[in-house]
Amino acid sequence: MRMIVALSKDIAPREKEAVFSYLADNGFSVREQNVGGDVLLVASGGAGGAVSGGGIPAVSERELSLLPGVARVAQTSKPYQLAARETKGSDTIVSVNTGTGSVVQIGGARICVIAGPCAVESKEQIAETAACVRESGAVILRGGAYKPRTSPYAFQGLGMKGLEYMKAAGEAQGMPIVTEVVSPELVDGMKDLTDIFQIGARNMQNFELLKRAGSLGKPVLLKRGASATIEEWLLAAEYLLAAGSKDVMLCERGIRTFETYTRNTLDISAIPVLKGLSHLPVIVDPSHAVGIRDMVPRAALAAIAAGADGLTVEVHPKPEKALSDGPQSLYPEQFERLMRDIEALAPVVGKELLRLPRKESGEPKKNAADANWAQAFSLVTEKIAFCGESGAYAEQALDRAFGENAPRLALPSFPAVFDAVLDGSAVCGIVPVENSLTGTIHENYDLFTRYPDVAITGELKLRIVHCLIAADGASLDTIRTVRSHSQGFAQCKEFLDKHPQWRFETWNNTAAAVHSIAGDGQTPDITVAAIASEAAAKVYGLKALKSGIEKNPQNYTRFVIIARRNVSLPAAAFLRENSAGEQPNKASLVFSIKDEAGSLYPCLQILNKYGISMTKLESRPILGQPWSYMFYVDITVEESGKLETALAELKNQTENMLFLGVYRAAV
């Protein structure tokens, strides 16, 4: 048994010395390690005092956790200590600079797609491939400069010259690059030309290479050996982490089995297994796994559905002429379709497809204004406001949009979010406006009329999976009271109807309901439960008695990003575009009309005149004006010029009109 001690980021030198002394006095040998930004002490051994079955003093974990400067203590019996899930309280997110002012983050709430040819064949080939995969949505360029091949007569790559071609292609597209390093002797020569080292399947247990590559501290993509067990794979990752690399990604690329219909057998089950065992991001290579071009997209989507953090896909402009792995390389148009399918699947698994900043005139813009939400705000320090507490669905949407490291401001109500955006306490906010099961969240639509200086700048859809959450020891039989937001009760009505003995208490948000039963140091009440997300249960140390209790699995909430109309920040231009870097295709407005027969018809005629389609039309009573109504309208945008002309005419036809914003529609 070993102990992992995570130190507080603000630990004082004397406190750190006291922790070392405590461990040494109790017979532990200690190694300090930095993993994903956390300073960890890996303690092995233990002697003296009362001992547990693992040979470690029974009091050490409790006493150690109380020492000043100790953030967390965990025990692990696994041979891979630094890669183990117990080592970190959260998933590792690997950050890679693009060289254009933005950052690619691998892991967490985003799906990262790496794409490019198997091998760099020429300057023109890698440049053409880089341009097409970036256009389709890939964020990292892959390609082999050195190719370890089974046959000594097969194409071995262009070596360092090929890597120079690839680096130039990546820079031209604003993409970081990943390439395979095949021997320790090549590491130093390649380190300044590549952003991510790839350790191939054949070298997974080349321990000298692992130690040398890991010592540089660069991100490493570690492929699984063709016959390697998961434990052997994680031990290889341990070599990298122990050598000094804090950014390690695991790549499943298929294993060798008795099956011969595909090149390898894609071990889909390894993805959830790794997610349980380790905190490291998991990437899947469907190209090498199946080896057959037409099967690659389906295997790729299966990997995303199983929980992969990203994909690495082989793409070639002319696969039939490729010098390496042509039969498994996608045509550019196949890759484009795959990216659209991934974008459609992402919300189902609670993730967002990561995109790079927009690129115009053949040059990547070096301004965060053109980045996606997460990238745009990686360069600013202002907070993003949301309603709720840690673990709230709105916070999950915030993570999807801006990244897990984005600064945030938790507020008690929706009006407070609008207030924070208006007074500058937050650079923008995120609020729900519609649910697929229960309809419009009218409170937030109405707030736009009260805050005319706040506009919609983006949207996303989040799949809502409700859980019945309670303390350890609770069961369906012990529950007497259930707490949640009114929307949570409405969306879980069929489940709740089966328990008529339960009493319901409405709270401002679902996460607050969970927090209320956590006890805050007191023993939680096993007669009280809450309806919220599994993430909220983890935040407050509770458990999900039952998951998926919403009445329909097609339960999505549409969130909108709001900002001041005169917002001034590096991401301001982006707030008028979208996360995919494409032009806006949706707009929202609200207007009132005269209280007379047929007054709505001319308004609709104007939209029809300019070929503008409505996707939503809903009336709301005007406060203080009985039997008078405002109309909320969502419309599609194809040509900005037509939209401006139509809005000008519509303004003359209506009593009052407020344009809520133009943005990109969520998938």
Percent of the chain scored above 90 by pLDDT? 54
Strand (E) positions, 77-147? 94-97, 103-106, 110-116, 140-142
Residue 241 and residue 286 share a domain:
no
Instruction: Give the model confidence (pLDDT) of 225-281 as tens digits.
Output: 999 999 999 999 999 998 989 899 999 999 999 999 999 999 999 999 999 999 999
Give the tens place of pLDDT for each residue, 132-169.
999 999 999 999 999 887 888 788 889 999 999 999 99
For residue 585, tell me if it sits in a domain. Answer: yes
Q: Which pLDDT belongs to residue 147?
A: 86
559, 574, 631, 659: which is the annotated catalytic residue? Answer: 559
What tokens appear for 460 in the block?
């996303």
Note if 557 is an active site residue. Answer: yes
Instruction: Confirm if 146 and 180 have CB atoms less than 8 A apart.
Output: yes
- Residue 112 to residue 110: CA distance in whole angstroms: 6
Position 55 scores a pLDDT of: 45
The pLDDT value given to residue 368: 31
Q: What is the pLDDT of residues 496-513, one digit of tens each?
A: 999 999 999 999 889 999
Burial class (CB in 10 A: 0-12, 13-18, 19+), 217: middle
**pLDDT tens digits, one per residue of 47-86:** 544 444 444 444 457 778 888 998 888 777 788 888 998 8
Q: Is the pLDDT of residue 454 over 90?
A: yes
Gap between the Cα atoms of 563 and 241, Å rounded:
41
User: Is the pLDDT reported for residue 381 higher than 90?
Assistant: no
DSSP-derived 3-state class of residue 241: helix
Closest CA to 252 of 279, 222, 213: 222
- pLDDT, one tens digit per residue, over 387-413 is 988 999 999 999 888 888 789 999 999
Residue 561 CA to residue 374 CA, distance in Å, equals 13
- Spatial separation of the C-alpha atoms in residues 477 and 396, rounded to whole Å: 31
pLDDT of residue 347: 84
User: Are β-strands 454-463 and 481-484 bridged in parallel, bridged antiparallel, or unpaired?
Assistant: unpaired
The model's pLDDT over 156-214, given as tens digits with 9 standing for 90+, comes to 889 999 999 999 999 999 999 999 999 999 999 999 999 999 999 999 999 999 999 99
Provide the 8-state DSSP code for 412.
S
Last residue of some domain: 349, 368, 384?
349
- Tell me the percentage of the chain whose pLDDT exceeds 70: 90
Q: Do residue 234 and residue 261 come from a single domain? A: no
Using CA atoms, how far apart are residues 666 and 585, in angstroms rounded to an integer?
10
CA 572 distance to own-chain centroid: 22
Alpha helices in 137-224 (DSSP H): 160-173, 184-190, 207-215
Domain presence at residue 402: no
Q: Return the pLDDT at 599.
A: 85
Asked if 258 and 345 sit in the same domain, the reply is yes
Residue 37: partners with Cβ closer than 8 Å, 6 or more residues away: 246
Q: How far apart are the first and last CA of the chain?
A: 47
Last residue of a domain, one of 22, 49, 77: 77
Domain of 231, CATH number, reads 3.20.20.70
* Phi, psi for 317 (deg, rounded to 5): -60, -35
User: pLDDT digits over 94-106, tens only?
Assistant: 999 887 767 898 9
Q: What residues contact residue 449 under an 8 Å CB cut-off, 6+ apart? A: 590, 630, 658
Residue 414 among the catalytic residues:
no
| In a shared domain, residues 190 and 266 | no
Say yes or no to pLDDT of 373 above 60.
no
Domain membership flag for residue 83: no
Last residue of a domain, one of 77, 98, 118: 77
DSSP three-state, residue 268: coil
Q: Residue 589 falls within a domain, yes or no? A: yes
**234 and 286 assigned to the same domain:** no
Angle between helix axes 414-423 and 442-450 (nearest 10 degrees) is 30
What CATH number does residue 19 fall under? 3.30.70.260
Query: What are the counts of helices (DSSP H) followed by strands (DSSP E) for the chain?
Result: 21, 32
Report the CATH number that the domain containing residue 480 is assigned in CATH: 3.40.190.10
Does the global pTM surpass 0.85?
no
Q: Are residues 224 and 265 in the same domain?
A: no
Partnered with residue 458 across adjacent β-strands are 561
On whether both 264 and 199 belong to a single domain, the answer is: no
Q: At what angle do helices 393-402 and 510-518 cross, to 10 degrees?
A: 120
Residue 127: inside a domain: no
Pull the structure tokens for residue 69.
């400067």
Residue 125 has pLDDT above 70, yes or no: yes
Which pLDDT band holds residue 667 (cuts at 50, 70, 90)? Answer: low
380 pLDDT more than 60: no
Residue 365 lies in a domain: no
Q: Which residues contact 280 (CB under 8 A, 6 or more apart)?
A: 83, 92, 237, 248, 249, 250, 274
Do residue 534 and residue 608 come from a single domain? no
How far is it, in rounded angstroms, from Cα 486 to Cα 469? 16
Q: Are residues 613 and 646 in the same domain?
A: yes
Compute the distance between CA of residue 182 and CA of residue 199 in angstroms, rounded to an integer: 7
Structural domains of the chain, count: 5
Query: Do 586 and 538 lie in a common domain?
Result: no
Q: How far is CA 211 from CA 184, 215, 232, 282, 525, in A?
A: 9, 6, 16, 21, 51
Phi then psi dihedrals of residue 177, to 5 deg: -125, 155
Domain that holds residue 36: 2-77
Per residue in 534-588, pLDDT (tens digit) is 989 988 889 999 999 998 888 899 999 999 986 544 333 333 333 444 578 899 9
Q: Are residues 536 and 621 in the same domain?
A: no
Tell me the C-alpha distance between 477 and 499, whole Å.
10
Q: Are residues 601 and 645 in the same domain?
A: yes
- What's at 253, amino acid-wise? R
Which one from 557, 574, 631, 654 is the annotated catalytic residue?
557
Q: Is residue 561 part of a domain?
A: no
Q: Could you tell me which residues are beta bridge partners of residue 310?
A: 112, 283
In this structure, is residue 420 part of a structural domain? no
